[in-house]
Amino acid sequence: MAMTEAATSRAQVAPPSPSVIAVGDWQITPLAEVRVRGEYRYDFQALDQWTLLERARLGADAQDGAVEARVVVQDARAMLVGDAPIAPGDPAPVAYAGAHEAWVEAHSTTRGGTFLRVGRQPVVWGEGRLLGASDWSATGRSLDAARGRVVVGDGAFELLGAVLVDPATPASLHSYGELAAARGEWVFDPLLGLDASVIWRVAHTDPAADNGGSVLGRTGTGDLLVHGRGSGWAYGVEGAYQLGHADTPDLERSAFAVAGHVSKQLENVGWQPTFDAGVSYATGDHWTGGVFGGFDPILPDAHAWHGAMDLVSWSNEFDAGGGAHAATWQDGDIGVEYRYFPASSRAPSRADRTRTSSGRSFRRFRSCTTPICRPG
C-alpha cells in the first residue's frame, strides 16, 4: 500500500536587495535621482513658451562611524522648445554635467546633530529666502563651503564660509566673491521657533547673471524668522535688514524686507488638501538721500515662496498670493495659486529691477494664476 502526500509548490522569492552595502568598515548607500519636467507658459507678449528640463543624479554616501563622505554627480539640461524668445521667468538654456555634492564631514553619533562639513554642498537656512538650495531650477544650487554646526539642547549654532562662483555656470572656476555667515536657532515649542542669522558677502566682480552691478561691493544682512507647525497649521514671519556698500553706484546700502505666510492642511479629509496664503515686501532702489535701497536676496529659493512661475524673488516687490494643493497620489500633488506682485519702486533704475530666481530681471508682470502638477 503506497502512501502519498500532496505538497504545495511555492515559488522562491528573492530577498530584497540591501539599501546599504558594507565595504570593510564603511557603509555605502547608493543615491540616484531622475527628473523630467515640462513647462508651458503663455506670457504677456502673447507667445507660447515651452521648456523641457531633464536632470539625472547618481552618487554614493559612505559612512564609517563619525566620518561621512558623499559624492553626487549630475547631468542637467534646460531646453527651449520652438523658436520663441526667452521670456521672463523661463529657465535659461543650460547643459551642465559635474559634481552637485562632494563633501566630507565628521559628526556626532546622532546624524543631523553636531557636524563639521567641508566641500561642495547644498545649504538651506531657515525657510530658504536668503540661503536656499533652489532645487526646482535645472541644476539646483551647491556652495563650495566649510560649515560647522553645534547642537545644544533644543537649539543649534552654525558657522558658514563659502566661495561664490558664477551662478549661471556651476562648473565655472570663476569666483566672484566670498560669503561668511553665522546662524542660531532655538525651538521652544512645535508652534514657536526662532531662527536668527547674519550673512556677510563681498563681491569683487559681477556674476554672469548680474543685476545691473548691484551685487558688487559689501553686503551685510541680519535676518530673524519666527515659525511654527502643529495640528495641520504652519506659519512663518520673517524680517531682514541690509547694510554695507554698493560699488555700483558707489552708495551705502540701507534696505529691508519682511514676509509672512500661513497654511492649513485638512489632515482628515481625502487627498489632504492644503490652503495657504502669504505676503512679502522688499524695498527697491529709490536712491533716497544718497543711499542704495534695493534689497538683495543673496542666494534665495525663489520658487518656494514667490510662485511657481519663478518670476520674482525677495527684491523690489510687493508679493501677495494664495493657493490650494491636494496630494492626489503618494509622491506628488496638484494645485492652483494666484499671485499679485507689483514692483515696490515705481521708477527702478537698471540696478533695481525685480530679480527672478535665475538672476535675470523683470518688471512688467503684475499678477498671474498658475495651475500646478508636481511629482514628488
Q: What is the pLDDT of residue 89?
A: 55
Residue at 358 is within a domain: yes
- Looking up residue 238, the CATH number of its domain turns out to be 2.40.160.100
With CA atoms as reference, report the closest residue to 184 among 132, 219, 149.
Answer: 149
Report mean pLDDT in 10-residue bins for the chain, 376 residues: 40 66 93 89 68 94 94 92 64 83 90 90 95 90 95 95 77 83 97 98 77 82 97 96 89 93 92 92 77 90 79 82 84 82 56 41 55 65
Question: What pLDDT, on the 0 to 100 scale, is given for residue 170?
Answer: 57
- Please compute, for residue 21, the number of CA atoms within 13 A of its CA located in the half-sphere on the CB side: 9
Strands 291-292 and 251-265: parallel
pLDDT at 218: 94
Count other C-beta atoms under 10 Å from residue 107's C-beta.
18
Phi then psi dihedrals of residue 290, to 5 deg: 75, 25
Question: According to the model, what pLDDT value does residue 88 have?
Answer: 56
Asked whether residue 64 is domain-assigned, the answer is no
For residues 81-91, b (16+ Cβ closer than 10 Å) or e, as one string? eeeeeebbbbb
Domain that holds residue 161: 109-375
Per-residue pLDDT tens digits for 71-103: 999 999 988 887 666 655 566 778 888 999 999
C-alpha cell at 86: 526667452
80 falls within a domain: no
137: in domain: yes
Residue 88, domain member (yes or no): no
Q: What percent of the chain has pLDDT over 90?
A: 47
- pLDDT at residue 329, rounded to an integer: 74
> Does residue 261 sit within a domain?
yes
User: What is the per-residue pLDDT for 298?
Assistant: 92
Considering its fold, how many domains does the chain have in total? Answer: 1
pLDDT in the model for residue 289: 72
Task: Quote the pLDDT of residue 60.
Answer: 97
For 94, residues 6+ apart whose C-beta sits below 8 A from its C-beta are 76, 77, 78, 138, 139, 168
Quick check: is 3 in a domain? no
DSSP conformation class of 356: P
Question: What global pTM score does this model have?
Answer: 0.85
Classify residue 193: in a domain, yes or no.
Answer: yes
What are the start-end ranges of the H helices in 211-323? 302-305
- Return the C-alpha cell found at 66: 563619525
Please tell me the distance from the alpha carbon of residue 111 to that of residue 120, in angstroms, as a whole number.
19
